[in-house]
Amino acid sequence: MRQSRKGALYLLLAAALLAGYILNLEKSRGQGKEEFPAVEWIRVQEKADVGVIEQELLEREQAKAAERLDFPNESEEKPMDKQSLRKRLGSAVIVGDSVAEGFLDYEFLESDSVIAEKGLRADSAAEEIKKALDLSPTQLFLSIGLNDLEYCRGDSERFVRYYRQRILEIREEYPELPIYINGILPILPEAVEKKAELGQAEAFNEALKQMCRELELTFIDSKDLLDGKEEWYQKDAIHLKAQFYPLWLNRMEETAGL
């Protein structure tokens, strides 16, 4: 970024020199004393403090970055700013693992909308689900499975067996509560190279889809949101940066008709 600001200053200086040369040439040819606004602006900038100019350039870059974060997909008809997303989510609650924690880490949602725990698995999620149910949600979104890939050693049937048990527990207490199942998000190859079990994400998702058909639940597939977006991943090639979360939340809301 420092290099780009220096480049802008060098271009400004070059433009000033060129304008001065042209102005002197026009005067030498006796073609009047008309001043040009652009030349006057360059003269003012030449006198300005370099630090002030650099600060202005930095503020413009930061403003553009913030705008891209708040509105990562301008083609969406619905507003994608944090306030609008929270309002549309309403009293729904998301339960998930460290990936879902991103909603809190990046301050897209607050703790009354997200119950997330690093390392959360289907077999151990009963306590977090209970916390979510105590909030009397109008809809419940589950995002579990990342940690199960390794814990279940690639055994998708074992994973679904635990997951099904959690669903039955919810239905026993809240039979009318709409439940939505988020698929496991794509994991980049470099992470799979370190832990082969992570390569079973698609097989686990297929098992989840089958479970949803049997239990009449809605499966939310968001993997297309990450197509060609490798730069949205953190260094571990598993967790995600802020740009993804508004799109993911919007997908959940649209699926639930919020």
**pLDDT at 6 > cutoff 70:** no
Residue 87, pLDDT score: 86
Q: Taking the CA of residue 175 as centre, how many other CA atoms within 13 Å lie in the half-sphere pointing to its CB?
A: 1
Residue 95, pLDDT score: 98
Q: What are the pLDDT digits (tens) for 131-189? A: 999 999 999 999 999 999 999 998 999 999 999 999 999 999 999 999 999 999 999 99
Closest-CA residue to 184 (of 208, 158, 214) = 208
Residue 46, pLDDT score: 55
Task: List, in sequence order, every residue forming a beta bridge with 140; answer none if it has no partner.
Answer: 93, 179
Q: What are the pLDDT digits (tens) for 79-126? A: 777 788 888 898 999 999 999 999 999 999 999 999 999 999 999 999
Closest-CA residue to 100 (of 161, 164, 185, 170) = 185
Percent of the chain with pLDDT over 90: 64
**pLDDT at 71 > cutoff 70:** no
Residues 6+ apart with CB under 8 A from 128: 95, 115, 116, 117, 120
Output the pTM of the full model: 0.69
Q: What are the pLDDT digits (tens) for 152-162? A: 998 999 999 99
Q: Which residue has the higher pLDDT, 9 or 245?
A: 245
Tokens representing 209 are 């889809």
Q: pLDDT class for 13, splitting at 50, 70, 90?
A: very low
Residue 8, pLDDT score: 47
CA distances from 56 to 13, 37, 51 (A): 16, 21, 9
Q: pLDDT class for 200, splitting at 50, 70, 90?
A: very high
Residue 82, pLDDT score: 79
Tell me the pLDDT of the chain averaged across its residues: 81
